[in-house]
A = this chain, B = another copy of it.
Amino acid sequence: MSRSVGAADAIGRADRSLAAQIYDELRRRIIEGEIPAGTWLRERELAEEFSVSRIPLREALPQLEAEGFIVTHPRRGAVVRELTVRDATEYFDVKSSLEVLAARSAASRVRAGADTARLGGAWAAAQAAMAAGDDRAIAEANARVHDEIVELADNRLLASSLRPLHGLQRWFFGVTSDRDQTALAQEHAALVAAICDGDVEYAGSLAYAHIEKSRRESLPLLAERLPAG
């Protein structure tokens, strides 16, 4: 079978394996709500849609299950999981712990002489986006600030632990989140400053406050549109 040119071209001709591309594509569709909770995912159906054989799907679907996006029912198929308020609570709990660690580690590494150029650059981009008033750009810049903090923390295990949380976040909130992106950027300002100062304790406290503020603002909104779980 040729590699699909027409309708199924959602998966491009990237140099990555088909399984990885399909994983990415399905993950994106679930996160962005194109595939709503409760949808059944059938191997052969998806294989046909993507114009691939079942093999790549048999690698991609278990990965999606491992990250908690779908639940597999043996011999019945996989169904997209439904997010609940409980998931959100768990998310904020774990996120809080790990983000504090990231902020503290980043500050600690700065104290040990790490380069803050990239983080500074990301933060500058956020400021520029704020000045321009481009909400989408602010959201993207905020996300990059976050990524750069994790990068600066230089802990691969931490980064891999945060990855599923990142997916959850976008699943919950979409790209922009419920919060005012400008307010988010303001909080980032203090956090970035503390990290660049190498102030471990302060950076950790700010990160904690940052997440807890998000929790308090977002949870009530989520509770309105999500089942309790």
Select which of B62, B68, B100, B165 is within 8 A of A62 by beta carbon: B62
* Chain B residue, CB-CB nearest to A90: B157
- A98 close to B (CB within 8 Å): yes
Chain A contacts with B in 37-89, Cβ cutoff 8 A: 55, 58-59, 62-63, 66, 68, 74, 87
Interface size class of chain A, counting residues whose CB lies under 8 Å from the partner chain: 20 to 34
A172 to chain B, nearest CB (A): 12
A155 contacts B by Cβ under 8 Å: yes
Complex CA–CA separation, A160 to B66 (angstroms)? 9
Distance of A84 from chain B, by nearest CB (Å): 11
The complex is assembled from copies of this chain, and their number is 2
Contact across chains for B74 and A93 when beta carbons are under 8 A apart: no
CB neighbours (8 Å) of A161 from chain B are 94, 98, 161, 164
Chain B proximity mask over A151-191: 1 for CB below 8 Å, otherwise 0: 00001111011001100100000000000000000000000
A residues in contact (CB < 8 Å) with B: 17, 19, 55, 58-59, 62-63, 66, 68, 74, 87, 90-91, 93-94, 96-98, 100-101, 105, 155-158, 160-161, 164-165, 168
Rank and list the top 6 A-B pairs by shortest CB-CB distance, nearest first: A90-B157, A97-B101, A97-B97, A90-B155, A94-B157, A59-B62
